[in-house]
Structure 1
Amino acid sequence: MRWTRVVTIVPLWIALSIQQPKDPLDSFCRIFGHQTAVVDRRLYVDGGFVNHGSLPQDPKNYTNTALLDADLDVTNLGMPILRSNLSKPDKVPDVNGAILWSDPVNKVLYLYGGEYSDGEPDPFSLWAYDIVPSKWKSMPAGSEDRDIQRASYGAGAVVEGGEFAYYYGGWLSNASVPSWGSRPPLALSSLLMYNMDLHTWTNSSGPDSIGRAEGAMVYLPASDRGMLVYFGGLQVADGMGKTTPQPMDEILIYDIANSKWYTQKATGQVPEDRRRFCAGATWASDYSSYNIYLYGGSEISEGVGFDDVYILSLPSFKWIKWYPTEPGPGYPHHSLSCSVVDGAQMIIIGGVFTNTTMCDVPNVYAMHNMDLGKQNPDSAPWYQFRPNLTTYKVPPEIVSAIGGSESGKANVTSPKGGFGDRDLNTYFQRVYTPPPRTPTHTPEDDDSTPVGAIAGGTVGGVAGLCIIAGGLYLWLRRRRKQEETTVEETVPTPSAPETKPPTMYELPAEREQPIGELANTAPVEMESPGVTKHFSLPGDNHHHYQHPSPHSRDPSSPSAELPV
């Protein structure tokens, strides 16, 4: 019967021509759960979900099947121009909660991890996007690949200059691992390393046996070969036990040269516990302070989440609240991305907004820019993106907390109460400069799939029928992958009997109410936190984006929370 139905609709399909997947930027409203990377002053955005048009009228979450990109040297309306020219072949997974590792020397992006929003996940494979010829390739599997599985919503980082990529924690579930079945999701406690030159994996232990997910990890050029710094998110005893927050004052540090983990207590204005936030790192020109900027996130259990900025300055291990400075209604959101550009700016894209149905500045495709050193005429943290701003200056709030000046010279170079391990004092006195790398990758024409343009041609005879049948199959598969339904609004607490990762893939078949809709409120465009008097949209009567207390909630708004 199924084949009869397919044959019946073929003539209609021919008449309508091949229907390509919905352009993620067409009638754009929101994007979330995606992954980003920067290579050669070009920003790449992959996967996740997108919303189109008006959320109350079309509350579905559509899978983003395209690889988006933006030239960071070209702006419009104060932001880089996002494009959808780099479509992906159908066999490349369209996932959410993954990571894009960047290899700037070989001009390659590696797509690791993530969750499938529909259907059984494919067996694990590391996918690589070769930027120069614009081709995708599944990397050959090695003997060590037997122990590698696809994790989601973990934390990843790449060492300066590439070569080594890392991924800590994350979830294994039936949305990421084939044949997982009805087993409860598992939070990992391991650290993965991928060698981009040798294309080999190393799976090592974490700081303890506790599984962790939905935090953030950044790379710092300290010690003999660099450091990894992890904080925030969830922790799960033995991977499947009770879900609790990873305390924001408990910082996990991995020294790469010695393959050793450390734990350090942080002090200052410690942020509230959170997950699904994003973070990026930069440092003073003299390396006297490394400053990690955190934005947004979801609360661990109930609540609307956060719309705030905190800075963790190292080696003082002092938290500094940077934004907001005044109370107000705010726009809490989670499942967003942070991309640091030249150490001076951080582009924040998208997220799930929990207390409004407004679209996220659709004219600039949900892009917001943070000036990490407040180097703008308004001395504001949010400002339009400026391609020529390529040098970081330490902002006054950090200087006030640790001393020194905008160029560095920090006076506070150790934590209050001292280092938890004296090794850390030694490591932070060293600066790692990676040796020059020689490209090891040659773009291959065979066994790769070109993207970036849609081929067309005249079809006839038997060959034409084969192409039509194949195209119909791909169209039906793409359509099934794209048409997702709305996100759940209510959440059990982390201590619920069944521990599940707080992910987006469990979507109801139908929904009677749109997500997070405010009572008697028509959808309107949400203004960017980067909008200032120097960044106004033509023809629009925009006022400043008011950033308030991270806990403010519209009393008429239902609680729109992250599924657990």
Structure 2
Amino acid sequence: MFPARLASLFGFVLIAIPAAVQGVRLDVPRVEDFVRRWNVAATVIGDYVYIDGGEINQFENGTIDEAPVYQVNSTLSIDISTSWTTSDVSIRTIGKPNAPRNAPMIWTDKEGTGGFYSWGGVFSLGRSVTGSEMWKFSADGRGGGSWSLFQDFANPEAFKILLSPERGAYANTDDKGFLIGGSVWGWTQLGFTDTQAIPGMVSFDMRTKEISNGTANDAGSNRSPFETLIGARAHFIPANTGTKSHQGLILVLGGHRSYVDRQVSLEDSPGFDFRNLSFFDPETGERYWQIATGDIPPYPRAHFCVTGFAVAGVGYDVFIFGGRNEAQQSHYDDAYILSLPGFVWTLFPTPPAGPRFFQSVFTIIFTMNPH
């Protein structure tokens, strides 16, 4: 049932794409020089996919570059209104003034021509580390855009005390962004040596520009569904897709429960299972738990990718792929779909690409030509 339905409704895009552009040690190398791209964040705005952050491996003069990775210094965009393959896709590079980071968190703002906010992540190769900074990318509606340091918070003092996170679970509604948990260390923010878990949840109102910091014990809409959470993923499920919420719900999957009073070690931190599902209402902060059935994905699982899509007249399906088992130092190559409101997991045919983690995946809705 699932393969036929998926093929008729949408396409998945997993970001690890080479491109036919001449040159070596570039953000977009030639197809024959491309090895892998990872630690990226990506979003869809209008007819374009925007890809930010990450590192790349590539061949140089027929051999693998001696450096283990090469930082990506540009933001990339791909036109998804036209047909292409991974061998002939045209990838545009957009310059950026801020230092490259791996796996930054992004909140997508679709007002006007659109854009996104970027915060946190790991400074590539531990270089040019700064304090906590949020950057804004403003799209131009034609696959381009520009970066600026965002400082227009309604409550700037609240942002100044926040630590610059990595490995947090983030998602956003149409007007609010959320970041749950994460960790901080010497390659994410100045002044740190050991890796420390960040408790609670940060929310950002993209209309009022107010940022809020809550903890698990706070009352109100900004309380976190978890005390600590590292390596998990979050996904916004819109209203009218099988949930009882009029505002939609945010689903939180996977990751690890860590500690705030000691050095973080995910190998020794309990993992969250995929049977007891956690949701929260982005408007009220009310939390929900639901037991799922079916092909429960194995865990602990961190750094996997997640996307979802509405199924007309039925509900909503959530797709996950890959990830890493920190306890066993191994990687996953499996894919699952969680069907709502039935809360049933189904093992999806395994993609042929092999194990992946620190990738981005998203859904592209398209209309099929019956001819």
Give the TM-score of the pair, scaled to structure 2: 0.78
CA distance in 1, matches of 2:209, 2:283: 19
Matched, 1:260 2:286: yes
Residue in 2 that maps onto 1:280: 307
1:218 pairs, out of 206, 219, 235, with 235
1:96 pairs, out of 66, 80, 102, with 102
1:130 pairs, out of 114, 138, 147, with 138
Matched, 1:316 2:342: yes
CA distance in 2, matches of 1:21, 1:137: 28
Matched, 1:52 2:79: no
Identity in percent: 20
- Kindly indicate which of the two structures has a greater share of residues assigned to strand: 2
The answer on whether the counterparts of 1:188 and 1:239 sit within 8 Å (CA) in structure 2 is no
Mark the CA change 1:255 to 1:37 in structure 2 (over 3 Å): closer, same or farther: same
Cα-to-partner distance string for 1:162-213 (whole Å, 9 max, x where unaligned): 2211111111111112111x3x212223221111122110112245663111
Residue in 1 that maps onto 2:360: 337
CA distance in 2, matches of 1:323, 1:239: 42
Shift of residue 246 of structure 1?
1.4
CA distance in 2, matches of 1:72, 1:193: 30
Shift of residue 224 of structure 1?
2.3
CA distance in 2, matches of 1:239, 1:128: 33
Mark the CA change 1:267 to 1:238 in structure 2 (over 3 Å): closer, same or farther: farther
SS of 2:83's equivalent in the other structure is: strand
Cα-to-partner distance string for 1:259-314 (whole Å, 9 max, x where unaligned): 1222222222101111111000112223x422110011111322531111101122
Residue in 2 that maps onto 1:40: 46
2:197 pairs, out of 179, 187, 194, with 187
The answer on whether the counterparts of 1:211 and 1:236 sit within 8 Å (CA) in structure 2 is yes
CA distance in 2, matches of 1:260, 1:79: 46
Q: Which amino acid aligns with 2:320?
A: L
Residue in 2 that maps onto 1:463: none
CA distance in 2, matches of 1:189, 1:284: 35
SS of 1:110's equivalent in the other structure is: strand
CA distance in 2, matches of 1:262, 1:239: 28
Cα-to-partner distance string for 1:329-386 (whole Å, 9 max, x where unaligned): 97212111112122xxxxxxxxxxxxxxxxxxxxxxxxxxxxxxxxxxxxxxxxxxxx
Q: Which amino acid aligns with 1:248?
A: F
Residue in 2 that maps onto 1:197: 207
Q: Which amino acid aligns with 2:169?
A: A
CA distance in 2, matches of 1:225, 1:239: 36
The answer on whether the counterparts of 1:120 and 1:174 sit within 8 Å (CA) in structure 2 is no
SS of 2:89's equivalent in the other structure is: strand
SS of 2:160's equivalent in the other structure is: helix
CA distance in 2, matches of 1:305, 1:218: 22
Matched, 1:154 2:168: yes
Listed as ranges, the gaps of 5+ residues in structure 2 are 1-22, 217-223, 240-244
Cα-to-partner distance string for 1:521-547 (whole Å, 9 max, x where unaligned): xxxxxxxxxxxxxxxxxxxxxxxxxxx
Mark the CA change 1:109 to 1:250 in structure 2 (over 3 Å): closer, same or farther: same
Shift of residue 80 of structure 1?
8.2
Mark the CA change 1:149 to 1:389 in structure 2 (over 3 Å): closer, same or farther: farther
The answer on whether the counterparts of 2:200 and 2:227 sit within 8 Å (CA) in structure 1 is no
- Kindly indicate which of the two structures has a greater share of residues assigned to helix: 1
Cα-to-partner distance string for 1:458-480 (whole Å, 9 max, x where unaligned): xxxxxxxxxxxxxxxxxxxxxxx
CA distance in 2, matches of 1:302, 1:244: 13
Matched, 1:111 2:118: yes
Cα-to-partner distance string for 1:428-480 (whole Å, 9 max, x where unaligned): xxxxxxxxxxxxxxxxxxxxxxxxxxxxxxxxxxxxxxxxxxxxxxxxxxxxx
CA distance in 2, matches of 1:126, 1:98: 10
SS of 1:143's equivalent in the other structure is: helix
Matched, 1:291 2:317: yes
CA distance in 1, matches of 2:128, 2:326: 28
Residue in 1 that maps onto 2:7: none
Matched, 1:121 2:129: yes
SS of 1:218's equivalent in the other structure is: strand
CA distance in 1, matches of 2:159, 2:145: 26
Give the TM-score of the pair, scaled to structure 1: 0.53
The answer on whether the counterparts of 1:68 and 1:82 sit within 8 Å (CA) in structure 2 is no
The answer on whether the counterparts of 1:297 and 1:335 sit within 8 Å (CA) in structure 2 is yes
CA distance in 1, matches of 2:341, 2:39: 31
How many residues are paired up?
Answer: 317
Shift of residue 84 of structure 1?
3.5
SS of 1:332's equivalent in the other structure is: coil
The answer on whether the counterparts of 1:120 and 1:178 sit within 8 Å (CA) in structure 2 is no
Matched, 1:86 2:94: yes
CA distance in 2, matches of 1:66, 1:112: 16
Cα-to-partner distance string for 1:238-272 (whole Å, 9 max, x where unaligned): 46464121112222111123212222222221011
Cα-to-partner distance string for 1:60-100 (whole Å, 9 max, x where unaligned): 201111100000012223788241331212xx131112122
Q: Which fold has the larger relative contact order, with Cα–Cα distance below 8 Å and residues 6 or more apart in sequence?
A: 1
CA distance in 2, matches of 1:227, 1:177: 31
